Structure 1
Amino acid sequence: MTRHDVSLATTALAADARAATPARSLLPWLGGAVLIGLLLLVPKLGVPYATSLVFTLLVSFILAQSWDWIGGLAGYVNLGHFAWYGVGAYAFAISLNAGVPVPLCFVVAMAVVALAAAILSFPLFRLKGDYFAFATLAILPLAELLAFNLSKLTGGADGIVLPPDYVLLQAFYTALGLAIATFALTIALSRSRFGYALKSIRNDEQAAEVVGIRIFPAKLGVMVLSGAIAALGGAVHAWQLSYIDPPTVFGLSVALVPVAMALFGGSGLLWGPMIGVALLFTVQQFLLVNMSILHATVYGLIILLIGRFMPGGLLRSRLTKAIPALRFLSREQHLAPTGAAVAAGNERLPMPIRVPDPSCELLVCRKLTKAFGGNIAVNAVDIVVRQGEVVGLVGANGSGKTTLFNCISKVYEPTGELIVDGRNLAGLRRDEVAAVGVGRSFQNPRPFGDLTVAENIAIAATFRRNGPALPDALAEATAYAAFVGLGDRLGERADSLSLQEKKSLELARALALHPKLLLVDEVASGLTPAEIRRFVGHIREIRDVYGITVIWVEHIFSALAQVVDRLIVLEQGQVIADAPLAEAVKDERVLAAYLGQAATKEGH
């Protein structure tokens, strides 16, 4: 099947899907409209307790959903998220008692927390995993301690009493509007370029940088955004309560409940936090009324059981997926190319056509060195690669080939001089190296596993220098996927692909960066002879048609022999040969280090 056939077939499938599902896709939104209508009627019932109860539910949703932006989208477990709620409550209360108008008090609360979140992001995001989680958890007792001791500002243990106005109705409708805005913002994030940067970070930070994403500003942005919305939740709650004190807004007894709610429903899913809040809030209220002594124990036991038997949350469980009426709740949010965009796939890749100048040096390495303790993996390497060359990089296992690739792409920071297209890469970040024109695949494939084939490729396209908007990048992805033989797998998650398909996906993702220098790391291993010939044809086309310079690490010598102009041979991190293919295979050191057995087996 040609790429054109794949495009036509995929366009037809997309058109059929759009024709078959409009009514079904409208059902959740109709249900949401009905839910909002019912919530608007709650204060009309004239039962203050019911209004107050639903108000608390709305605040819980605001906190759980805003936490899920950093926990579900970016993959960072922020156990101190409730601190933003508390700081926002205090900032609102202090401003209101100082005579600031209520609308401006909300602005002050949001601004104070945004500033605090931005400042704390610098030390916090130097940590990962459990270290990040426990560091954020420490924010809560620190904030509570400060609230107790800064008594002139916070009232200390006595807390702050707000003006005794009856604001339940105003606070309720404010919270409802904020909850709706929070959900709408979640939808926008999941479909935005910024949201896909966060999803990439969640999967693999290094791979995200290699495809051009600057990760710290993305993490800083989501921390500030989630903190600001949590601050508004704290502000509206303080307004309604008319009294706050340190244990109320910083206490660990309630601080982790919104996190538990998001995880219970299904963190990272559109409906996960909402379902988790609705169910756990109901359980919590039932236990408070009927088991006032052991309610916390039972509540915790329920969460432990869910974590043990339904990892990933309730909506990802087999039970939910087995019920047709609930299956849409567990659906992951993926973007797919539109029908018109898919039709853009054709025989030529959407890449610039460069005419290489063989006299120009594209890559220059001088005394390039990388050591790990006492082990020198790359030892004073001097190589020059000119525009338009296809260079084979070979050597025995452990000779430093992949480490050299990691140095060129700045996965590792080497010493020595490294120049690409006339630019010294010293001090550049990985995303800046990608912008200079370096694209690569990994020896062990590192696609963004929970994203689709189309999304993986589109991320590289939209984050390259002067890249297109996300919808256009998704359109481009169809052509790259068809080029590497994945045109019929656009909507498949990357973690469902075979090893060889993942390698093909990484090649497509690297090409979407429009690289000048392409580093290919052992893509042909495991392929059949026919597949190897097809891949060699890809490498030849990449060079001959688009002018891309290629360095190819490969153990299958017969594959390299079909296309490379010369070989660079490494042994123990040093270059022992750098010569045209015909000369390199006659070098006794090359035969001893790498080609002896391979050449004998393959008849070279």
Structure 2
Amino acid sequence: MGTSIERHPDAADFGGLPQRCGSEDMSKSLNAVTGWALGTFGVAALASLPFLGNAYLTTIGFTVLIAYILGQSWDWVAGEMGYVNLGHYCFYGIGAYAFAILLVGNWPLWVAIGFAVVVTALAALVISVPLFRLQGDYFAFATLALLPLMEVLAYNLTPITNGADGIVLPVAQVLQPAYLIALGVCVLTFMVTLRINASRFGYALKSIRNDEQVAETVGVRIAPIKRRVLVLSAAFGAVAGAVQAWQMSYIDPATVFGLNVALVPVAMVLFAGSGLRWGPVVGVLVLATLQQWLLVNVKGFQATLYGLIVLLIGRFMPGGFLRARWVKKVPLLRALAREHHEYMGETATVAQTSAASKELPLPRYAAVGSTPLIQLENVRMQFGGNVAVKDVSLQIQSGEIVGLIGPNGSGKTTLFNCISRVYTPTAGRVLFAGQDLKGCSRDQIARLGVGRTYQIPRPFGDLTVQENIAIPLMFNEQPLSPRDAMREARVFIEYAELGHRLRERADGLSVQEKKALEFARALACKPRLLLVDEVASGLTPAEVQRFVDHIRHVRDRYGMTVIWVEHIFSALEKVVDRVIALEEGTLIADGPLAEVVRNERVLSTYLGSAAPKAKAGEHTC
């Protein structure tokens, strides 16, 4: 099947770089230069610390650097992807042991560090398979169980780990080189964080954090993303363990796997704000300093006070103290407390497209042959003893707009879920352009050309409107870079008349705006088949008409096939070619709207006694 893409004559200008005044460009350039200059100066100042001759301060600085590496690498999984890994410290311990074993065997330092990274990464890859079958609290507690498990293994694998006696590394004055290596790894950790924030990989993590199922249905292949971030996180944890083991010259199971130290870096990140760019930095600096003060001045109760402070932050400043309201009133802290979407203003600009423009960067689909675009053969979906869809068979041709009606619980949304592979049908086949979708994952279905909305809008709440639309553009058959995806997203945003909410978080939109956003996001999947689930319910007549116009436009202009679940007959009658009716999961009618609304079963089970009083073509629900 051939496709072609026609664009508006000015399509190259859609999302082009904004025309901004020179003073604004210069101001932002100066801010960027100033930021890099301050960062360079700060790193240089830290690098000079071990040369000042104060071993105590260097040791404290080294401890802080290690804590930052551990805290920030933990936050890639927890803050970016939303999976709370309470066993992150076990990667520190595995790295420490792998490094120590090779160093004691007289292998070179860098070979030992490299070996620690490889061994730990492989361990993370292996355990990621069972771990990511779990979610939420189950995932957190499963990862927490890794720490005592690794400690027991370290005690009992005596030929490898030397058991309770631990491993004594070659004794040498390595504080200075260990500190400098730790500082270098810290800088690399921060740079990787910046890279993640602006990359397709980072946006995949953010979509998973918000809603895994929706992420898959817009094209994100989540399983490899989960494994990659855990392996990346583990690798940096391993370097931290190796370098600290080298500096301490001794490790044992309790030192590198003990719960008394394992959760400290996690607490530091949570203290300031997980998921914030500067949260781990601020949390580590504040709590590491506090910890040292408590050790010197409050002997015997430092752990209690430390825990109490973290507990109070969690109770009265959920999300970390950088997210507290009073922080916004302090200029320096306000800059450190910026959420992810607030950085978007530095690169995202107001769309330059006209709201009146109807041209979208979509391919034009043309039917080839007589093969239906979507074909269901005896599809059944059963949940235990409840059969939601009962052996439904139907065909929909390319370019059709089909209305899907039925009372609540009739199986309409379940049928959508079977097509988009949210559910795997219990029996039967779903064919898309002649291809059996059995065995296809949700992201594969999206890339084949199926886009959908949800009855209850499910946007990526803590991402901006622009990012919501850009994500499917980053993960379709011809993926765009984040920068290009952001530019192209503006066209869809203007089409949905959400240009004034471009940089705002999606969870701050009204229900009507969220529905418009979901519709635009579904279009950004560039689908051949668009599944629209009650997008008009709760809208004003003018808003309903706007959606009707959009649905007609994408079919007439681009050859898109649409299945529309809707209760508002006045909307359906303006645009649908035919209507399919379901009752308790069974197909009871299929034909033109005027015929279906006169069907006896439809009248008795759905339209009710009021239906005969309405004139033909004026049925409402």
Shorter-chain TM range is over 0.9
Q: Which residue in the other structure is 1:462 paired with? A: 474
Match of 2:376 among 354, 365, 384: 365
Query: SS of the counterpart of 1:545?
Result: helix
Q: Which residue in the other structure is 1:521 paired with? A: 533
Q: Which residue in the other structure is 2:5 paired with? A: none
User: What does residue range 219-234 of structure 1 map to in structure 2 within 5 Å?
Assistant: 219-234=226-241
- Note the C-alpha offset of 1:151: 1.5
Normalised TM-score (structure 2): 0.93
1:240-266 deviations in whole A, cap 9, x for unaligned?
Answer: 111111111111000000101111111
> Does the 8 A contact of 2:403 with 2:578 survive in 1?
yes
Normalised TM-score (structure 1): 0.96
Q: Which residue in the other structure is 1:426 paired with? A: 438
Match of 1:387 among 398, 404, 422: 398
- Note the C-alpha offset of 1:205: 0.5
The AA in structure 2 aligned to 1:302 is I
> Does the 8 A contact of 1:344 with 1:476 survive in 2?
no
The AA in structure 1 aligned to 2:125 is A
Aligned-partner Cα distance in 2 for 1:51–1:338:
39
Query: SS of the counterpart of 1:136?
Result: helix
Query: SS of the counterpart of 2:488?
Result: helix
Match of 1:560 among 572, 581, 584: 572
> Does the 8 A contact of 1:10 with 1:488 survive in 2?
no
Aligned-partner Cα distance in 2 for 1:113–1:239:
17
Q: Larger deviation: 45-54 or 350-359? A: 350-359
Q: Which residue in the other structure is 1:186 paired with? A: 193
> Does the 8 A contact of 1:14 with 1:339 survive in 2?
no
Q: Which residue in the other structure is 1:439 paired with? A: 451
Q: Which residue in the other structure is 2:505 paired with? A: 493
Aligned-partner Cα distance in 2 for 1:407–1:354:
23
Match of 2:317 among 307, 310, 314: 310
> Does the 8 A contact of 2:411 with 2:583 survive in 1?
yes
- 2:278 matches 1:271: yes
The AA in structure 2 aligned to 1:306 is I
Aligned-partner Cα distance in 1 for 2:459–2:17:
22
Aligned-partner Cα distance in 1 for 2:309–2:9:
51
- Note the C-alpha offset of 1:551: 0.1
Q: For the structure 1 residues 113 and 510, does the alpha-carbon distance in structure 2 shift closer, same or farther, using more than 3 Å as the test?
A: same
1:412-462 deviations in whole A, cap 9, x for unaligned?
Answer: 111211001111011111111111111100001111100011111110011
- 2:542 matches 1:530: yes
> Does the 8 A contact of 2:350 with 2:502 survive in 1?
no
Q: Which residue in the other structure is 1:453 paired with? A: 465
Q: Which residue in the other structure is 1:410 paired with? A: 421
- 2:179 matches 1:168: no
Aligned-partner Cα distance in 2 for 1:231–1:124:
19
Match of 1:588 among 600, 603, 613: 600
Q: Which residue in the other structure is 2:515 paired with? A: 503
Query: SS of the counterpart of 1:384?
Result: strand
- 2:333 matches 1:326: yes
Q: Which residue in the other structure is 2:362 paired with? A: 351
Q: Which residue in the other structure is 1:401 paired with? A: 412
User: What does residue range 84-233 of structure 1 map to in structure 2 within 5 Å?
Assistant: 84-233=91-240
> Does the 8 A contact of 2:62 with 2:182 survive in 1?
yes
Q: For the structure 1 residues 400 and 568, does the alpha-carbon distance in structure 2 shift closer, same or farther, using more than 3 Å as the test?
A: same
Q: For the structure 1 residues 337 and 286, does the alpha-carbon distance in structure 2 shift closer, same or farther, using more than 3 Å as the test?
A: closer
- 2:76 matches 1:69: yes
The AA in structure 1 aligned to 2:486 is L
Aligned-partner Cα distance in 2 for 1:336–1:455:
12
Q: For the structure 1 residues 38 and 8, does the alpha-carbon distance in structure 2 shift closer, same or farther, using more than 3 Å as the test?
A: closer
Match of 1:484 among 496, 515, 539: 496
- Note the C-alpha offset of 1:61: 0.4
Give me the identity figure in percent: 55
- 2:387 matches 1:376: yes
Aligned-partner Cα distance in 2 for 1:350–1:26:
36
Aligned-partner Cα distance in 2 for 1:182–1:589:
64
> Does the 8 A contact of 2:580 with 2:591 survive in 1?
yes
- Note the C-alpha offset of 1:519: 0.2
> Does the 8 A contact of 2:469 with 2:492 survive in 1?
yes
> Does the 8 A contact of 2:462 with 2:506 survive in 1?
yes
- Note the C-alpha offset of 1:324: 2.0
- Note the C-alpha offset of 1:166: 1.1
> Does the 8 A contact of 2:353 with 2:494 survive in 1?
no
Query: SS of the counterpart of 2:531?
Result: strand
The AA in structure 2 aligned to 1:229 is F
Q: For the structure 1 residues 8 and 243, does the alpha-carbon distance in structure 2 shift closer, same or farther, using more than 3 Å as the test?
A: closer
> Does the 8 A contact of 1:360 with 1:386 survive in 2?
yes
Q: For the structure 1 residues 226 and 14, does the alpha-carbon distance in structure 2 shift closer, same or farther, using more than 3 Å as the test?
A: farther
Query: SS of the counterpart of 1:367?
Result: strand
Aligned-partner Cα distance in 1 for 2:150–2:422:
37
- Note the C-alpha offset of 1:326: 1.9
1:385-432 deviations in whole A, cap 9, x for unaligned?
Answer: 000000000001111111111111111111211001111011111111
Aligned-partner Cα distance in 2 for 1:545–1:314:
51
Aligned-partner Cα distance in 1 for 2:200–2:408:
39
Aligned-partner Cα distance in 2 for 1:9–1:238:
51
Aligned-partner Cα distance in 2 for 1:339–1:571:
47
- Note the C-alpha offset of 1:341: 9.7
> Does the 8 A contact of 2:371 with 2:434 survive in 1?
no
Q: Which residue in the other structure is 2:4 paired with? A: none
> Does the 8 A contact of 1:58 with 1:176 survive in 2?
yes
The AA in structure 1 aligned to 2:400 is E
- Note the C-alpha offset of 1:601: 6.7
Q: How well do the aligned residues superpose, as a CA RMSD in angstroms?
A: 2.3
Q: For the structure 1 residues 340 and 264, does the alpha-carbon distance in structure 2 shift closer, same or farther, using more than 3 Å as the test?
A: closer
Match of 1:576 among 563, 583, 588: 588
- Note the C-alpha offset of 1:584: 1.4
- Note the C-alpha offset of 1:465: 1.2
The AA in structure 2 aligned to 1:78 is N
Q: For the structure 1 residues 36 and 10, does the alpha-carbon distance in structure 2 shift closer, same or farther, using more than 3 Å as the test?
A: closer
Q: For the structure 1 residues 299 and 411, does the alpha-carbon distance in structure 2 shift closer, same or farther, using more than 3 Å as the test?
A: same
